[in-house]
């Protein structure tokens, strides 16, 4: 049997609505107006950062369902992931939702993992709709992946800055203007990078591999897409993925952008750019979908990248494996 990397959905699956909530720095960025809500500070008047992150996810879900005029009772399955140990942000959010829930993890690629699994479940007829939500929070994720922010560790310029935010997306077979056409599930690759302060270099090969696989599987050239957008490769990984694909004769330079570079402006103190589950989610659900609706882009390939390590593996001198999943969105016009 052949290996299957790309799932082309047989039934038309559509994005019904999205909800996005971001932190203070993100709302001051160049696309700050695109989000539904923003926090004034990282604590958001909660006892802990985890609670603040959970509230963001709850709000993102509320915005999403409100826009679609759907109640929680109508949601068939909830797919959720975040960056905190044991996926607690998603699970603790889910305990109040009373919906069948699947916790998923792909580090910063979780957004696309959720959309892909959700679309496949709807396509297969197991459920009639799916709600997916991801979140990341600068203070909780930096502690989880590197050092607590209050430790004040020095960071090199290659370090990324975890985006504070949460994005929710609701999908079903009901017709809308945004169709989910196909997904390419990435394989885990490891190019022997072991610096947790440079995840862009670790993830770029995964992104290149998935983009190449997707284009080959679908028999498409990069020009087919108006936009190929990677999740959080930052200013280090972005030139790298373009370079790697060029070696394979694929030139994405013209229509490639990175969410991690999109969400912040150059003068914001974020080192090489944004990262985290929320990075690809809020930029895509908030800004890119808006642009698709206003006709700037017709076809978009979102490639979310994830570094699959934890600090223990780094301490044990292991390298950083990474993965990238892609999903193709199309704007459709109904008669």
Q: Which is nearer to other proteins, 266 or 317 (CB)?
A: 317
Mask: binding to other proteins, 205-244, rule CB under 8 A, as x and -? Answer: ----------------------------------------
In contact, 44 and 50? CB cutoff 8 Å? no
Which residue in 81, 75, 39 sits closest to 56, CA to CA? Answer: 39
x/- letters, 245..274, toward other proteins (CB under 8 A): ------------------------------
* CB closer to other proteins, 162 vs 255: 162
Contact 297, 23 (CB under 8 A): no
> Token pair 């390298």 is at which residue?
319
**311 makes contact with other proteins (CB under 8 A):** no
User: Which residue do the tokens 């607690």 mark?
Assistant: 88
Q: Is 161 in the site for other proteins (CB under 8 A)?
A: no
| CA angle centred on 323, ends 76 and 267, rounded to 5° | 95
Of 153, 157, 174, 221, the one binding other proteins by CB under 8 A: 153
Determine the Cα–Cα distance for residues 257 and 287; give it in Å rounded to an integer.
13
Binding of other proteins by 139 (CB under 8 A): yes
Helix axes 49-68, 138-145, angle to 10 degrees: 120
Question: 173 CB contacts (<8 Å, ≥6 apart)?
Answer: 11, 12, 13, 14, 122, 128, 129
Min CB(47)–other proteins separation in Å: 10
* Binding of residue 42 to other proteins (CB under 8 A): yes
195 binds other proteins, rule: CB under 8 A:
yes
Q: How far apart are CA 148 and CA 152, in angstroms?
A: 8
Position among 43, 66, 187, 246 found at the interface with other proteins (CB under 8 A): 43
Rule CB under 8 A: choose which of 138, 172, 272, 280 binds other proteins.
138
Interface with other proteins, residue 192, by CB under 8 A: no
Among 6, 149, 176, 291, binds other proteins (CB under 8 A): 149
CA atoms of 255 and 173, how far apart (whole Å): 29
List of residues contacting other proteins (CB under 8 A) = 42-43, 49, 138-139, 148-150, 153-154, 156, 195
């Amino acid at each position: 049997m052949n290996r299957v990397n790309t799932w082309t959905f047989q039934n038309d699956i559509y994005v019904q609505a999205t909800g996005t909530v971001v932190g203070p720095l993100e709302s001051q960025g160049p696309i700050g107006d695109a989000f539904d809500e923003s926090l004034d500070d990282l604590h958001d008047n909660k006892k802990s950062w985890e609670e603040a992150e959970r509230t963001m996810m709850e709000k993102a879900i509320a915005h999403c369902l409100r826009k679609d005029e759907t109640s929680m009772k109508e949601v068939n399955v909830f797919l959720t992931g975040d960056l905190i140990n044991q996926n607690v942000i998603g699970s603790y959010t889910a305990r109040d939702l009373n919906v069948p829930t699947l916790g998923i993890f792909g580090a910063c690629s979780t957004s696309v993992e959720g959309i892909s699994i959700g679309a496949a479940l709807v396509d297969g007829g197991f459920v009639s709709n799916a709600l997916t939500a991801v979140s990341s929070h600068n203070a909780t994720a930096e502690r989880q992946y590197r050092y607590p922010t209050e430790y004040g560790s020095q960071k090199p310029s290659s370090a990324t800055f975890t985006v504070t935010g949460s994005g929710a997306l609701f999908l079903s077979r009901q017709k809308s203007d945004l169709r989910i056409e196909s997904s390419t599930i990435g394989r885990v690759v490891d190019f022997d990078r072991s610096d947790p302060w440079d995840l862009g270099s670790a993830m770029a090969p995964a992104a290149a591999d998935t983009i190449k696989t997707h284009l080959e599987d679908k028999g498409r050239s990069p020009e087919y897409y108006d936009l190929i957008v990677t999740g959080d490769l930052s200013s280090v990984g972005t030139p790298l993925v373009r370079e790697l694909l060029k070696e394979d004769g694929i030139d994405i330079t013209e229509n490639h952008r990175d969410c991690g570079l999109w969400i912040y402006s150059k003068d914001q103190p974020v080192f090489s750019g944004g990262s985290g589950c929320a990075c690809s989610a809020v930029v895509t659900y908030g800004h890119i979908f808006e642009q698709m609706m206003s006709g700037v882009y017709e076809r978009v390939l979102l490639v979310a990248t994830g570094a699959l390590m934890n600090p223990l593996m780094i301490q044990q001198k292991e390298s950083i494996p990474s993965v990238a999943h892609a999903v193709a969105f199309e704007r459709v016009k109904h008669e």
